[in-house]
Amino acid sequence: MNYTLNNLPERDAKPRDKGYTMAMDKGLSIREVEDLLEVAGEYIDIVKLGWSTSYVVPNLKGKLDAYRSAGIPVYFGGTLFEAFIVRDQFDDYRRVLDKYEMTFAEVSDGSIELDHDQKCEYIQKLAEQVTVLSEVGSKDAEKIIPPYKWIKLMQEELDAGAWKVIGEAREGGNVGLFRSTGEVRSGLVEEILTKIPFEKIIWEAPQKEQQVWFIKLLGANVNLGNIAPSEVIPLETIRLGLRGDTFTHFLNMEKPC
């Protein structure tokens, strides 16, 4: 930090187990990655190469090396896992993870129908190879999953070996955890939290209002994902109560008139 400010909310330091900022890279160039790391590397815990962009981007290895040199782990989007599964290429997917020396992988079923026992089996198998993040929720806005089922799915995936579970929202933040308007399904989130420890969940929350909502509910050390690279520093200030949105929340006082 550049100077001292007293009475900031407690913020766990990296490497941390909660308070994760998962940034989504959807095709940055290596030069852009280097610039991002220079300004915001300190605040990024993990990077997702969104959906199947890793199939298309040039010099994937160089990009992974850039993140690794900053000590930031990277994983491929869940859609890529699904693209392999739907083509019956699970072993090929495992080989890709090996080839690129991936240490994390996402298992999701947001775009495909996958029997849940089968999904848990994939989690179990991949957990022997890498640290698994599993994602719960559909990318289909019409598919509303009731809270009890979110809890059941999340718990079973953690039991199968997922390190953390991700709550689906997509890049837009308008499905899964959120209504099509971007409004949080607050009842759903609160019900999930009655059963699943908050540090085990990464909430995809790409919109500022969504990040603010989670930070007000769960504090500075809530795990948030699908953060656009340009929003990593703004998010850190919101976590610290240094932007208007959470300023009084953390000071526990009214705004001076």
Ligand X SMILES: O=C(O)[C@H](CS(=O)(=O)O)OP(=O)(O)O
> Measured at CB, which residue is nearest to ligand X?
77
- Sketch the per residue contact string, 67 through 106, with ligand X: x for CB under 6 A, - otherwise: ----------xxx--------------------------x
**Cβ neighbours for 30, distance < 8 A, ≥ 6 positions apart:** 59, 62, 63, 66
Pick the piece of the chain touching ligand X (CB under 6 A) from 85-93, 152-160, 164-172, 208-216: 164-172
Asked whether the beta carbons of 184 and 190 are under 8 A apart, the reply is no
Closest CA to 9 of 218, 251, 224: 251
Packing angle between helix 232-239 and helix 208-218, nearest 10 degrees? 30
| Per-residue contact string for residues 198-217; x = within reach of ligand X by CB under 6 A | ------x-------------
CB of 240 to ligand X, least distance (A): 25
51 or 214, CB closer to ligand X? 51
> Which residue do the tokens 């199968």 mark?
160
Is the distance from CB of 90 to CB of 107 less than 8 angstroms?
no
Stretch binding ligand X (CB under 6 A), from 43-51, 187-195, 216-224, 230-238: 43-51
* 170 makes contact with ligand X (CB under 6 A): yes
Q: Which of 108, 174, 211, 221 binds ligand X (CB under 6 A)?
A: 108
CB-nearer residue toward ligand X: 126 or 240: 126
Neighbours of 173 (CB within 10 A): 23
Q: Which residue has the tokens 């979110």?
A: 150
Distances in whole angstroms, Cα of residue 218 to Cα of each of 19, 102, 199, 256: 10, 30, 10, 25
Q: Binding pattern to ligand X, positions 220-249, x when CB under 6 A?
A: ------x-----------------------
Where along the sequence are the contacts to ligand X (CB under 6 A)? 48, 50-51, 77-79, 106, 108, 110, 135, 139, 168, 170-171, 204, 226
